[in-house]
Structure 1
Amino acid sequence: MRKWGALTAISLGSLLFLIDTTAVTVALPDIGRSFEASLTPLQWVLNIYTAVLAALMLVAGSVADRYGHRAIYLAGLTVFTAASLVCGLTPGIAVLIAARGVQGVGGAAVAVTTFALIGSSYAGRDRGIAMGIWGAVNGLAAAAGPIAGGLLTQYISWRAIFIVNVPLALLAIALTVRSITVVPGVRGKRFDMAGLVSLFRIASFNALMVCGVISASVFACLVFTSVWLQGTLKLGPVDAGLALVPLALSTFVTSTLVGRRLQHIPPRVLIGIGLLLGGAGCALQAGLDAGSTALSILCGLIVTGVGVGVLMPAMGTALFATVPPQRFGVAVGASTTARQLGQTLGVAVLGVVFQSGVDAVDGLNRVYLVAAGLGFAAAATGFLLIRENVGTTV
Structure 2
Amino acid sequence: MFMLLVDVMIVQVALPTIQRSLGATFSDLEWVISGYALALAALILTSGTLADRFGRKRVFVIGLVVFTVASLLCGLANSAAFLIAARALQGVGGAALFATSLALIGQEYRGRRLVTAIAVWGSVTGGGVSMGPLVGGVLTTALGWRWIFFVNLPIGAVTLALTLMRVVNVRDPQAKRLDWAGLLTFSSGLFLLVFGLVRGNDDGWSSPTVLGAMVAAVILLIAFAAIEARQRYAMFDLQLFRKPAFTGVSIATFAIAAGMFAMLIYITLYLQNVLGYTPLEGGLRLLPATLLIFIVPLASRRFTERVPPGLPLGGGMLLVGAGLLLMRAMVGLNTDWTALLPGLLVVGFGVGFANPAIGQIALRVVPPQRSGMASGISNTFRVAGLSCGVAALGAIFQQSVASSLTTSIGAAHAGLSRVVVAAGPQAAAAAAHGQPGTPAAARAAFVSGLELLLVVGAVVVLVGAAATVMVRRRDFQARQAPALPQPEATPEPVRT
Task: Using structure 2 for the length normalisation, give the TM-score.
Answer: 0.72
| Matched position secondary structure for 2:332 | coil
State the one-letter code of the partner of 2:474. Answer: N
Displacement of 1:69 in angstroms is 1.0
Alignment partner of 1:95 is 2:180: no
Are the aligned partners of 1:84 and 1:99 in contact in 2 as well (CA < 8 Å)? yes
In the alignment, which residue of structure 1 is the partner of 2:470? 385
Are the aligned partners of 2:38 and 2:387 in contact in 1 as well (CA < 8 Å)? no
Report matched runs for 1:124-143 at 5 Å.
124-143=111-130
Displacement of 1:362 in angstroms is 3.2
Are the aligned partners of 1:143 and 1:241 in contact in 2 as well (CA < 8 Å)? no
- Alpha-carbon spacing, 1:271–1:32, altered in 2? closer, same or farther (3 Å): same
Picking from 204, 207, 222, the partner of 2:245 is 204
In the alignment, which residue of structure 1 is the partner of 2:208? none
- Alpha-carbon spacing, 1:43–1:356, altered in 2? closer, same or farther (3 Å): closer
Report matched runs for 1:286-301 at 5 Å.
286-287=328-329, 288-301=331-344
Q: State the distance in 2 between where 1:188 and 1:269 align.
A: 33
Are the aligned partners of 1:282 and 1:304 in contact in 2 as well (CA < 8 Å)? yes
In the alignment, which residue of structure 2 is the partner of 1:314? 357
Are the aligned partners of 2:321 and 2:461 in contact in 1 as well (CA < 8 Å)? yes
Q: State the distance in 1 between where 2:313 and 2:175 align.
A: 36
Are the aligned partners of 1:133 and 1:259 in contact in 2 as well (CA < 8 Å)? no
Displacement of 1:43 in angstroms is 3.1
In the alignment, which residue of structure 2 is the partner of 1:7? none
| Matched position secondary structure for 1:246 | helix
Picking from 322, 342, 367, the partner of 1:280 is 322
Alignment partner of 1:361 is 2:402: no
Residues 279-304 of structure 1 show CA distances to partners (whole Å, capped at 9, x for unaligned) of: 11112112233321110010110110
**Identity rate of aligned residues, in percent?**
39
- Alpha-carbon spacing, 1:187–1:169, altered in 2? closer, same or farther (3 Å): farther
Displacement of 1:26 in angstroms is 2.1
Greater shift after overlay, 114-123 or 363-372? 363-372
| Matched position secondary structure for 1:302 | helix
In the alignment, which residue of structure 1 is the partner of 2:184? none
- Alpha-carbon spacing, 1:297–1:182, altered in 2? closer, same or farther (3 Å): same
State the one-letter code of the partner of 2:449. Answer: G
| Matched position secondary structure for 2:340 | helix
Q: State the distance in 1 between where 2:450 and 2:30 align.
A: 23
Alignment partner of 1:245 is 2:331: no
Displacement of 1:116 in angstroms is 0.8
In the alignment, which residue of structure 2 is the partner of 1:328? 371
Are the aligned partners of 1:68 and 1:186 in contact in 2 as well (CA < 8 Å)? no
Greater shift after overlay, 275-284 or 174-183? 174-183
Residues 11-48 of structure 1 show CA distances to partners (whole Å, capped at 9, x for unaligned) of: xxx01211111112222333333333333333332222
Displacement of 1:106 in angstroms is 0.6
Q: State the distance in 1 between where 2:257 and 2:287 align.
A: 19
Gaps of 5+ in 2: 179-232, 405-444, 485-496
Are the aligned partners of 1:48 and 1:97 in contact in 2 as well (CA < 8 Å)? yes
Residues 151-206 of structure 1 show CA distances to partners (whole Å, capped at 9, x for unaligned) of: 21221122211111111111111111222222233366213417612212222111
In the alignment, which residue of structure 1 is the partner of 2:176? 189
Q: State the distance in 2 between where 1:377 and 1:38 align.
A: 36
Q: State the distance in 1 between where 2:456 and 2:344 align.
A: 16
Report matched runs for 1:84-163 at 5 Å.
84-163=71-150
Alignment partner of 1:236 is 2:236: no
Displacement of 1:356 in angstroms is 3.8
Picking from 454, 457, 460, the partner of 1:374 is 460
Greater shift after overlay, 270-279 or 339-348? 339-348
Greater shift after overlay, 222-231 or 85-94? 85-94
In the alignment, which residue of structure 2 is the partner of 1:221? 263
Are the aligned partners of 1:229 and 1:240 in contact in 2 as well (CA < 8 Å)? yes
In the alignment, which residue of structure 1 is the partner of 2:153? 166
Greater shift after overlay, 225-234 or 204-213? 225-234
Greater shift after overlay, 56-65 or 37-46? 37-46
- Alpha-carbon spacing, 1:74–1:271, altered in 2? closer, same or farther (3 Å): same
Are the aligned partners of 1:124 and 1:263 in contact in 2 as well (CA < 8 Å)? no
Q: State the distance in 2 between where 1:25 and 1:342 align.
A: 18
Q: Radius of gyration: which is bigger?
A: 2
State the one-letter code of the partner of 1:261. Answer: F
In the alignment, which residue of structure 2 is the partner of 1:20? 7
- Alpha-carbon spacing, 1:73–1:259, altered in 2? closer, same or farther (3 Å): farther
Displacement of 1:306 in angstroms is 0.5
State the one-letter code of the partner of 1:360. Answer: F
Picking from 307, 310, 321, the partner of 1:268 is 310
| Matched position secondary structure for 2:145 | coil
In the alignment, which residue of structure 2 is the partner of 1:3? none
In the alignment, which residue of structure 2 is the partner of 1:4? none
Number of aligned residue pairs: give it.
379
State the one-letter code of the partner of 2:76. Answer: L
Displacement of 1:380 in angstroms is 2.3
Displacement of 1:113 in angstroms is 0.6
Displacement of 1:100 in angstroms is 1.8
Are the aligned partners of 1:19 and 1:144 in contact in 2 as well (CA < 8 Å)? yes
Task: Using structure 1 for the length normalisation, give the TM-score.
Answer: 0.89
Q: State the distance in 2 between where 1:175 and 1:136 align.
A: 20
In the alignment, which residue of structure 2 is the partner of 1:6? none
Displacement of 1:345 in angstroms is 3.7
Greater shift after overlay, 327-336 or 313-322? 327-336
Greater shift after overlay, 268-277 or 35-44? 35-44
Greater shift after overlay, 277-286 or 24-33? 24-33
Q: State the distance in 1 between where 2:328 and 2:25 align.
A: 35
Are the aligned partners of 2:127 and 2:290 in contact in 1 as well (CA < 8 Å)? yes
Residues 283-338 of structure 1 show CA distances to partners (whole Å, capped at 9, x for unaligned) of: 21122333211100101101100100000111111111112222222222222222
Q: State the distance in 2 between where 1:290 and 1:162 align.
A: 34
Displacement of 1:81 in angstroms is 1.3
Gaps of 5+ in 1: 1-13
Are the aligned partners of 1:258 and 1:313 in contact in 2 as well (CA < 8 Å)? no
